Amino acid sequence: MISMSCVGAVLLHPAWFLYSLLYLRLNSFSYIAILIDYAEISFIHETVMTATKKIGLIALVASLSWGAQAANFDYNYGQVGYETGDYDGLTLTGSFEVNEELFVLARYTGLSNDDTGVDIDFTEISIGAGYHMAIDEKTDAVFTVSLNSAEVDSSFQTGPGSTVDDTGILLTAGVRHNLNANVELAGGIYHNSAFDGDTGFQGEARYNINNEMSAGLSFTSGDFVDGLGVNFRMGF
Residue 139 has pLDDT above 60, yes or no: yes
Q: Are 123 and 110 in contact (CB under 8 A)?
A: yes
Residue 207 has pLDDT above 90, yes or no: yes
Residue 216 has pLDDT above 70, yes or no: yes
Neighbours of 223 (CB within 10 A): 12
Residue 87 has pLDDT above 80, yes or no: yes
| The pLDDT value given to residue 183 | 97
Give me the percent of the chain exceeding a pLDDT of 90: 61
* Range 128-155 average pLDDT: 96
* Range 90-116 average pLDDT: 94
CATH topology of domain 77-235: Porin (2.40.160)
pTM, full prediction: 0.69
Main-chain phi, psi angles of 48, to 5 degrees: -65, -45
CA torsion, ordered 95, 98, 99, 101, to nearest 10 deg: -50
Q: Which has more pLDDT, 50 or 233?
A: 233
| Domain range summary for the chain, segments of one domain joined by + | 4-68, 77-235
Q: Are 75 and 93 in contact (CB under 8 A)?
A: no
How far from 190 is each of 127, 176, 177, 204, CA to CA, in Å? 15, 15, 18, 14
- The mean predicted confidence, pLDDT, of the chain is 80
User: Please, what is the Cα angle at 25 between 21 and 26, to 5 degrees?
Assistant: 120
CA torsion, ordered 41, 44, 46, 52, to nearest 10 deg: -140
| The pLDDT value given to residue 19 | 47
- Amino acid at residue number 24: L
| The pLDDT value given to residue 158 | 66
Q: Which has more pLDDT, 185 or 66?
A: 185
* Range 147-176 average pLDDT: 91
DSSP-derived secondary structure for the chain: ---HHHHHHHHTSHHHHHHHHHHHHHHHHHHHHHHHHHHHHHHHHHHHHHHHHHHHHHHHHHHHHHHHT-------EEEEEEEEESSEEEEEEEEEE-SSSEEEEEEEEEEEE-TTSEEEEEEEEEEEEEEEEEEETTEEEEEEEEEEEEEEEEEETTEEEEEEEEEEEEEEEEEEEESSSSEEEEEEEEEE-STT-EEEEEEEEEEESSSSEEEEEEEEEESS-EEEEEEEEEE-
Residue 140 pLDDT class (50, 70, 90 cuts): very high
For residue range 26-82, what is the model confidence (pLDDT) as tens digits? 455 444 444 445 455 554 455 445 544 544 444 444 444 444 456 689 999 999 999
